[in-house]
A and B are shown apart, each in its own frame.
Chain A
Amino acid sequence: MMINAATLSASRSASEQARRRRRITRLLTYALLITCGLIFAFPLFWTLSSSLQTWQELRSYKPHLIPAVPQWGNYPHLFQIQPMARWMLNSFMIIFLSLPGGILSATMTAYAFARFRYPGRDVWFIIMLGTMMIPSQVLLIPQYLLFFKFGWINTYYPLTVPSWLGGGAFTIFLLRQFIMSIPRDLDEAAIMDGAGPIRILWQILVPLMKPALTTVAVLGFLGTWNDFFGPFIYLNKAKLFTAAVGLQFLTAAEMIETTREPRDHLLMAAAAVMSLPVILLFILAQRYFVQGVVLSGIKM
């Protein structure tokens, strides 16, 4: 009886200890998450806050975390003095002209790698993976020379046409992994019904590939929107700039023209405006996107 009570209380205190330890771990996790979260969010918050201040306010002795009076006028002002709207529209146009091609050709290639057996397939697949290792600089210079010969400088061809030819090794790889995870029975049932390869791809596989295709589309959008080097070397007329090149142009001008009043608040507004479309897109596609990235990562 005595012994029983003792062991009981001992085990109770042990479980109490475990519970307390768990609570401490939980608290620590929260503390770490909140601290890291604040550190990650602060630059974004500060961008917005700076973009709503006057330049005098930004250079005051005691910085204002929150603008004294939000200067909403900074945003229209930015669009007035710089063709920001035009640049963003240009970026959208390049995406509109390249993304469908990238997705289409990558899906086709992935389908070939995943579902057909033919001589050379595995070699081509290894070569395709190998192209991911080649640093972009090696290819950019000769590609630039090629497009220069075509007379494609200051056009959108160099930024859109190549997308229709493959859509990138990583995209193909991701889609191929995804197709491999779809049971072949579905294809075979469709063949029984007399469907050809194109119909199988279009009517059976593509609808099932929605998460993967969404991921690829979001990544493609982000990649093109954020791309700097390509548009920077191919476009040198201000009215053709993309948003990324335009923003760089504003910063560079800011560094050179030091005599005029500072424009940090406008630069911050431009950075915010430029980030907005991709953040919105992510929020809209978040569910599919996370699922798709997860699929790409697990199946390595």
Chain B
Amino acid sequence: MTTAATVSTARRKRWTAMRREAWWGYFFMAPWLIGFIGLTLGPGLASLVLTLTRYNVLRPPEFIGLDNYVQVLTQDELFYPSIARTFYFAALFVPLAIGGSLLVAVLLNSKVNGTVLFRTLFFVPSLVPVVAAAVLWGWLFNADWGIVNQGLRALGIPAPGWFSDRQWALPTLVLMSLWGSVGGTRMIIFLAGLQGVPEELYDAAAIDGANAWQRARHVTLPLMTPTIFFNLILGVIGALQVFTSAFVATRGGPSYATWFIGLHIYKHAFEYFNMGYACTLAWLFAVVIIGLTIIQQRLSSRWVFYYGEQ
């Protein structure tokens, strides 16, 4: 009788403790949860519904079924090229950015003097606001008066038109984005990863007769793969959303050479006020990004190595 009572009070006590813990959990999570429902889930669903409508903000949305999708996929002459251009940008930028950051991190990790000075030097460009970077690169690479072309001409090298040339505009944007990100937080994360490689692994490799290259290839690189993977995922998502640099430096030009999907969506949403159509573009693009991220996640087990896990 008494034991049953104590068991039940103990159970009740545990139950109330659990309830209290749940209450506190949701209490602390509440601001985010409200934000998630009100600013992510709600708007996300609303925009999905809007893809089925024609909506110009002034008049109420008008249901048009799948017309927007049909129009995007079969009639929009700028849609496929802008998606392809966006991927081209990411394909150029992401490998160079990750490779560049890794290289700078390796250089800074070698035991030389003045690493703090060099680290600051590499980091500062990543602090420059993208708008300011676009303005200053526009001037630096100005076809007529830019210092770069003045220098090239002085050396007798043919000077390209950079931002004002169809062929060069996109690669120049890539260069600009690299300048603004190679030495940034990505590099610091790599640097930390390099410093986190256990010294005994290098010693063991040295005893086995591995030279510097083999140590880099078979010790450092495998241990860096989780960090590389993390930066690859974030890098691809970021690069595919390229907008501000192109908007300020080239306005999508010359003749659509840097017209990325972000600019296309912007144009339809905030210049033509074709909200339904812009939502359709945005959602199709979102599906591409999410799909790509999932594919990368799946492929990661083939090359990402977690030390200490079997």
Contacts and interface: CB of A to CB of B under 8 A. Distances in A.
B88 to A, nearest CB: 17
B234 to A, nearest CB: 8
Given A63-B150, A133-B290, A138 B135 contact: no
A282 B140 contact: no
Interface majority SS on B: helix, strand, loop or mixed? helix
Contacts of B278: 141
B282 to A, nearest CB: 4
B259 to A, nearest CB: 15
A108 B31 contact: yes
A111 B244 CA distance: 34
Given A108-B29, A298-B196, A37 B283 contact: no
Interface string A76-88: 0000000000000
A165 B46 contact: no
A134 interface: yes
Interface string B181-212: 01101001111110010000000000000000
A297 B189 contact: yes
Interface in A160-181: 162, 164-167, 172
A181 B147 CA distance: 50
A146 B285 contact: no
Given A40-B122, A293-B185, A117 B128 contact: no
A278 B129 contact: yes
A43 B179 contact: yes
A59 interface: yes
A142 B44 contact: yes
Interface string A94-136: 0000000000111011011100111101001001100111111
Interface string A139-166: 1111111101000000000000010111
B265 A278 contact: no
Interface in B133-170: 133-140, 142, 145, 147, 150
B40 to A, nearest CB: 6
B308 interface: no
A290 B278 CA distance: 39
Contacts of A62: 150
B136 A46 contact: yes
Contacts of A116: 21-22, 24-25, 28
Contacts of B39: 139, 143, 162, 165
Contacts of A29: 107, 110, 112
B221 interface: no
Contacts of B10: none
A247 interface: yes
A74 interface: no
Contact of B107 (A33, A46, A117): A33
Nearest to A59: B145
B34 A247 contact: no
A90 interface: no
Interface in A257-288: 264, 267-268, 270-272, 274-275, 278-279, 282-283, 286
Interface of B: 18, 21-22, 24-36, 38-40, 42-44, 46-47, 50, 57, 104, 107-108, 110, 112, 118-125, 127-140, 142, 145, 147, 150, 179, 182-183, 185, 188-193, 196, 226-227, 230, 234, 237, 240-241, 243-244, 247-248, 251, 262, 265-266, 269-270, 275, 278-279, 281-283, 285-286, 289-290, 293
Closest 9 CB pairs of A and B: A165-B35, A297-B189, A142-B43, A116-B25, A118-B22, A112-B28, A118-B25, A105-B31, A166-B32
